[in-house]
């Protein structure tokens, strides 16, 4: 995927996705990725808070020999001090790529159009592809295989959930999305890959009874803070606590993209319990993003 943008999981084909996971595993096991970003600078535009995404990308850019430049809203005031497209046109004159966390997916695509160099989606309100790409590696490691793995997303049909559905369409997972009526995908998207299956339900027992992974995320995403009270009420029965986890087989792993709102979507005893793999999961953000950067900046040239 040399020179390409990565704006959504569906930008990847099945082989490309599996290749990135394979490179990530090899880097994790000690393979030297070299310095494909030597003498290159990448801008990281973060209009929303971040711990994992920004730090793991900054460190990965540095590890590959590049120079990361983090920019925050207070500095560039994108769309206010300057139009989104103009920000892109200017950055493109200075840097070799852009990693952007911005609320609007449309703005992200506008930036990508304004820039000739590659743009990576570090999360919008619509999707979080880097998160789910890294989570695919965690599923592979924890379950033993990715394709056909039974992953149950418990909670809101949000950016992370949307990227999970795209992953199902690319590599053929057995994905279940379970949440309260009114917060579920409607209409239910259609998985296209051979082994891909998608179940959307409000019945946790149905979704969890043979699952390999119980995955959750916050009920109130960034930007939805004014809905917090309503959401706390509506999602209450879907808290990942000991009772809900007991609906899944004991071998099931608990995953969460983090940050967790402890005591809301997940309880401390589950997040810190023996089935939880959330900190190993978070570490994989680094390895997979390093593999993604490698594929974009060092991977084989593509024929036009
Ligand atoms: N999971 C994730 O994207 O975390 P941050 O918001 O801290 O980057
Ligand atoms: N759905 C969450 C993910 C945070 C990484 C949010 O958008 O706030």
Residue 304: per-residue pLDDT: 64
- Across the range 98-114, mean pLDDT stands at 97
Q: Are residues 243 and 292 in the same domain?
A: no
pLDDT digits (tens, 9 = 90+) for 177-226: 999 999 999 888 888 766 689 999 999 999 999 999 999 999 999 999 99
Task: Give residue 299's pLDDT.
Answer: 79
Atom 4 (ligand 1): residue with closest C-alpha?
52
Nearest C-alpha to atom 6 of ligand 2 is from which residue? Answer: 221
Beta bridge partners of 152: 176, 214
- C-alpha 12/C-alpha 10 separation (Å) is 5
Query: Which residue reads 């917090």 in tokens?
Result: 228
Distance of CA 229 to CAs 110, 225, 252, 265, Å? 34, 9, 30, 13
Range of the domain at 175: 129-282
- Nearest atom of ligand 2 to the alpha carbon of 48: 8
For range 122-130, the mean pLDDT: 98
Q: What's the domain count of the chain?
A: 2
Residue 219: name the closest of 201, 204, 240 by CA. Answer: 240
The pLDDT, as a whole number, for residue 193 is 67
pLDDT at site 300:
81
Query: How many CA atoms does the CB half-sphere of 300 hold within 13 Å?
Result: 6
* Pair 43, 95: CB distance under 8 Å: yes
Instruction: Give the pLDDT score at 190.
Output: 84
Protein residues whose CB sits closer than 6 Å to any atom of ligand 1: 50-53, 123, 131, 257-259
> Domain check: are 118 and 158 in the same one?
no
Q: Give the Cα separation of 100 and 71 in Å (integer).
A: 9
pLDDT tens-place string over residues 17-59: 999 999 999 999 999 999 999 999 999 999 999 999 999 999 9
- Mean of pLDDT values over 216-243: 97
* 143 shares its domain with 269: yes
The answer to whether 193 and 148 are in contact (CB under 8 A) is no
The domain that holds 293 is classified in CATH as 3.40.50.1370
> Across the chain, what does the average pLDDT equal?
96
Asked if residue 1 is part of any domain, the answer here is: no
Residues carrying an active site annotation: 101, 128, 131, 217, 257, 285
């Amino acid at each position: 995927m040399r020179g390409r943008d990565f704006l959504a999981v569906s930008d990847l084909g099945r082989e490309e996705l599996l290749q990135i996971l394979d490179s990530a595993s090899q880097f994790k096991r000690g393979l030297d990725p070299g310095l494909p970003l030597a003498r290159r600078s990448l801008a990281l535009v973060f209009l929303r808070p971040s711990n994992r995404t920004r730090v793991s990308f900054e460190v990965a850019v540095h590890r590959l020999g590049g120079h990361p430049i983090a920019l925050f809203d207070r500095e560039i005031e994108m769309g206010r001090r300057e139009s989104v497209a103009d920000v892109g046109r200017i950055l493109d004159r200075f840097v070799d790529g852009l990693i952007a966390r911005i609320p609007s997916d449309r703005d992200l695509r506008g930036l990508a159009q304004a820039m000739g160099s590659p743009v990576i989606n570090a999360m919008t309100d619509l999707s979080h592809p880097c998160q789910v790409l890294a989570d695919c590696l965690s599923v592979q490691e924890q379950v033993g295989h990715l394709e056909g793995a039974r992953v149950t997303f418990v909670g809101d049909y949000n950016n992370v959930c949307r990227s999970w559905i795209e992953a199902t369409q690319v590599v053929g997972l057995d994905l279940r999305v379970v949440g309260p009526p009114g917060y579920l995908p409607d209409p239910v998207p259609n998985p296209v890959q051979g082994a891909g299956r998608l179940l959307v339900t409000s019945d946790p027992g149905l979704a969890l009874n043979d699952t390999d992974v119980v995955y959750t995320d916050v009920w109130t995403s960034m930007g939805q803070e004014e809905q917090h009270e309503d959401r706390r009420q509506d999602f209450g029965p879907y808290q990942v606590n000991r009772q809900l986890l007991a609906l899944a087989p004991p071998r099931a792993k608990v995953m969460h993209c983090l940050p967790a709102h402890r005591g809301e979507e997940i309880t401390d005893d589950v997040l810190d319990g023996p089935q939880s793999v959330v900190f190993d999961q978070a570490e994989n953000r680094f390895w997979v993003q390093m593999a993604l950067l490698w594929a974009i900046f060092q991977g084989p040239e593509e024929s036009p």
